Structure formats: C-alpha cells, structure tokens
Structure 1
C-alpha cells in the first residue's frame, strides 16, 4: 500500500543546455526510452535575463509528432505561429497547450518584458499510442481565464486539474493532468491530497522550501531551482520560512514503450522512420489552414 506522505524519489538539479537558435535553458530532464517520468517527457526552465547575451534567439520553425507541448509564461512573451494557422502572443500568466498529434510545424519567438527578462517553462507530455496520430489541436489560455484558489494562505493557479472544486481551463487531455503554479508565503505551509495513481513532480523556481519525505518522515530543505520527483503516495507536505514558488505537475502514466527522436516521441523506431519520411516527402502536415506554416 502507498505510504500516506509521498516519498521523495529523486532530486534533480537542472543543467544548462542550448536549444533552438542558441537558446539557453535549464533542463531538468529530456525524453528517454526508459520513460522514468511517464507521462512527462521533458521539463525546461527558460530565462533570458542578461542583455549582454545579445539579441533574443528563439525556436524557428520545427516539427512535432506524438506529444503535447505546454508553455507557461512568467515574464516577457512568446509569439507562436503554426501550420494550423494559429498566430498569437502569450504573455505573463498565459499558457499554451499544444497537442501535436500526427504532426504540426510551429515556431516560438520570445520578447523581453519591461524588466528586460523572459521567464517561463516548457513541459512535454506524452500521448498514448492510440492518440499519437490524432489530429493536432491548439489551446491558448489567457491569464485572466486561469482561476486562482487560496488554501490556508497558499495561492494556487489552476491551469489543469481541480483544486477545491475549481477546474482549470485546459481539459480533455489524455494524461488527466494536474498543472498548478503554487505560491507559499513566508512562514506558510501546504498539505495536499494527491491522486495516488499519478506521477507527481514539483519544480521549485523561486525561494526555498522544506518538503517532507514520506520514506524517512523528515523534511528536506531545498533551494530553487530544483526538480523534485515523488514516489507513490497519497499526500504531500511543504513548508517555507522565507516563501517559495513552484510548479506542481501530476499526470496518469500510460505504461507504454516510447521511442524518442528529437521533436518526435513515438512507440517504435519504425514510426520515427515514418515521421522522417513524411517530413522529407512533404506529407508531415495535412489540412493546413491558409496563413499557417507549410511543411518543407
């Protein structure tokens, strides 16, 4: 039987990587065939904070198949354009939840906010094998549409899932995700009942907190930035003397094999080879809307 308080299975210190057109990212994990964080595949913390880095670089046109990409903004903005004809800008507090399905091309180009910074996160969520070739879908949710709930003084923004009877605006996702921004005030504490069937991750991006480890019954004090991977259990307990902010991410594992290759995550090597052929032969994107990006 799962312990009442979830044990801390792993603590990950994110590593600097370079992606896109020279974008510097802090990466907690990336797709692996062993699929240790099922249904989650990748988590990046992107930050452009120093004007000496030069002109902003982003992510020019690139493909995805077999996954969902989730972009959550804290500061600055990102302009999105894709092969479905979607064109828009997501700013502070906004979220973009894109289901690539059988194939989508898109680009993401950042702009600094008034303080000269761009801050945010990108999460990749797997699709089950039965949905990997489904039609692509795009959900863009403005900050004003994301509800906020307060629990014992702790503020939670609910992007997906349900808190105290309040449901987030992102719905109909196969992984049945929980996606929250959590702000614990100085001296605050959070005790949270979790779905014991879900994979659960917490990414501390500001401040410091003490997270109870159900395996030992002791608190583990961690400073941002850090990713915490929980084991099976029913609850979590946090407290923070100085205050902290974190993303809390949960989802139903699919328990299926995966075969990742760059921006594609499929079930077999043969499906990856088919994706590359489709891209090369101009069959990757179907039913483009006028104004959208075109397959090469």
Structure 2
C-alpha cells in the first residue's frame, strides 16, 4: 500500500492510504458481499477490523460467537422488509431499513441475524476492535432506530448521522469508543465537509457511484469496489463529493493503537486470550439464543 503524509502548512496533516480493492464474497445463494479487512490498510483502518458491504436474502450464518469486538450491523434505507436480530442477551429485534444494531461482545456472546422470508437486506457489517481493558467486559447491546438518526440536508446532499456526530449535529453516542457513522446521499457534484478530531481514523467507501475524498489538499477518487483509510494527525476536515451522484459511507473513530490477535469473529490482545475465549465458547459459556 502507498501511504502519503500530507500537510497544508497549517499543522493540519494526515496519513492517507491508497485505495484498497474489495474481496468478493459469496456464501450460498443468499449472501453476496464486498469484503475489506484491516491487514490491507497498513494499520490505518483502526479501530475497524473488518467491513463487509453485503446483500442478504436468506439465512446464511446461523448462531455464531463473537468475543473481543463489537459486531455492528448498519442497514441502508433501500433494504426491503425485516432483518431479524437475536443474541444471547435475550434480544429478539426486527431491524427495519435504516436501523443500526451494536453488539459489544466483550468476553463472549452469541449472535444470529437473518432476513425474514421475502426480505432483502442491504447494509454493512462491521467488526470494531475493543481496547484491551474492555475485551473481557460483559456483553451489551444498542439498537438505534432510523427515526432517531438526525439528517443533515443541503441542496446537493443528504447525510444520515447513523451514530455519533458530524460538525454540530449529534446523534446517538457510540457505546464504546468515540465513533461516528455517516451515510451520505449526493446529487451530481454534491459535496459535504466533515470535521475530524485529532488522532481519529477514517474509513470511506462508496456504496454507489464514484466518490472523491479530499483531506489536507489531497483528493482521492474511489469506485464502489474500493475503500480508503486515513489517520488524522491533527484536527482537520475531510470533504466527500460524488461527481455523478451516489451514496458514500464514512466511518470515523478514535484509534486504539493496540496489537491484537484475530481468529475469525474473535479478536483478543494475545494468543493466550484467544485460547481462553475459544475454550469458553466450546464449553457453552457464551450463553444461548432462545428459539
């Protein structure tokens, strides 16, 4: 990966990666995704570990375990029908188009999510890393309904504040780290500027249409098969634009800057910790999901 260190002469610098191409994922007849993993972004994706941009039309994964991470589901507004979300905390929630569900797995929890019959779910699945001090916390969850997400509208853009805040508009706070998720729709040539705190990372992906991402005087063009990650050295601003109109997701979070070991849906600080949660999972200590 090519990495650029930029500075506009006003101590507003950033470390910017080059565009990363997605990995195509198909599972069964009902799940297609563009997959992005942290190792392709040279550390700039922190605190994200993985993002899948997916479409799901039938149950695919069944109940499965998570540990050491937050598993976050973001549904786009063009989803159709209901996305049922169950977990070992006792939740059984029908997510609607535009909703968000955050499962902080901590020391371990079970999760199962699937579209109901006739539904088509379009969204993002995130694995957000947890700091070492929280990896053995008890599991917890957050459901944010689309009606509770502020919308920033201009002549050429419509931005949903799915989580966190953008400029002076505040949505529901992240349950773990300072983290913001923006879902932006643009008319042709539309632009939106989002201000970044010092030391935060940013991940940008065009859901549809090409996107231009401009920070510290450097503009990068992305196609819908790509994503870009960067780290703000100082407080600065990132401009999103879409030359022909489209949809762009921006995820901004406080970087953890800690080493971790990942084994599938588990991410812990050490291999020994991975073995600990793996044994707990096999022993049934992650709980159960009621039928």
TM over 0.5: yes
Q: Which residues of 2 match residues 222-241 of structure 1 at below 5 A?
A: 222-232=222-232, 234-241=236-243
Query: Is residue 14–residue 230 contact of structure 2 (8 Å, CA) maintained in 1?
Result: yes
Q: Which residues of 2 match residues 132-147 of structure 1 at below 5 A?
A: 132-147=135-150
Q: Quote the residue 1:9 is aligned against.
A: 17
Q: Quote the residue 2:109 is aligned against.
A: 104
Q: What is the SS of the residue equivalent to 2:248?
A: strand
Runs of 4+ in 1 over 6 A off after TM superposition: none
Query: Is residue 31–residue 42 contact of structure 1 (8 Å, CA) maintained in 2?
Result: no
Query: Is residue 30–residue 42 contact of structure 1 (8 Å, CA) maintained in 2?
Result: yes
Deviation by residue 1:172-213 (Cα, 9 ceiling, x = unmatched): 32x210111112221222233212310111111111233336
The two structures, once aligned, show a CA RMSD in angstroms of 2.6
Aligned mates of 2:284, 2:220 — CA distance in 1: 51
Q: Quote the residue 2:53 is aligned against.
A: 45
Q: Quote the residue 1:28 is aligned against.
A: 36
Distance of aligned partners of 1:276 and 1:192 in 2 relative to their CA distance in 1, 3 Å threshold = closer
Query: Is residue 27–residue 44 contact of structure 1 (8 Å, CA) maintained in 2?
Result: yes
Gaps of 5+ in 2: none
Deviation by residue 1:131-152 (Cα, 9 ceiling, x = unmatched): 1111111111111111111256
- Please report how far the alpha carbon of residue 251 of structure 1 lies from its aligned counterpart in structure 2 after TM superposition: 0.8
Equivalent residue in structure 2 for 1:167, among 152, 158, 170: 170
Aligned mates of 1:226, 1:204 — CA distance in 2: 7
Aligned mates of 2:246, 2:28 — CA distance in 1: 30
Q: Which residues of 2 match residues 148-227 of structure 1 at below 5 A?
A: 148-150=151-153, 153-173=156-176, 175-212=177-214, 214=216, 217=217, 219-227=219-227
Q: Quote the residue 2:58 is aligned against.
A: 56
Q: Quote the residue 1:261 is aligned against.
A: 263
Distance of aligned partners of 1:218 and 1:67 in 2 relative to their CA distance in 1, 3 Å threshold = closer
Aligned mates of 2:183, 2:48 — CA distance in 1: 17
- Please report how far the alpha carbon of residue 5 of structure 1 lies from its aligned counterpart in structure 2 after TM superposition: 6.6
Distance of aligned partners of 1:278 and 1:151 in 2 relative to their CA distance in 1, 3 Å threshold = same
Q: How many residues align?
A: 277
Aligned mates of 1:20, 1:267 — CA distance in 2: 33
How high is the TM-score relative to the length of structure 1? Answer: 0.84
Query: Is residue 44–residue 231 contact of structure 2 (8 Å, CA) maintained in 1?
Result: no
Greater RCO structure (CA 8 Å; 6+ sep): 1
How high is the TM-score relative to the length of structure 2? Answer: 0.85
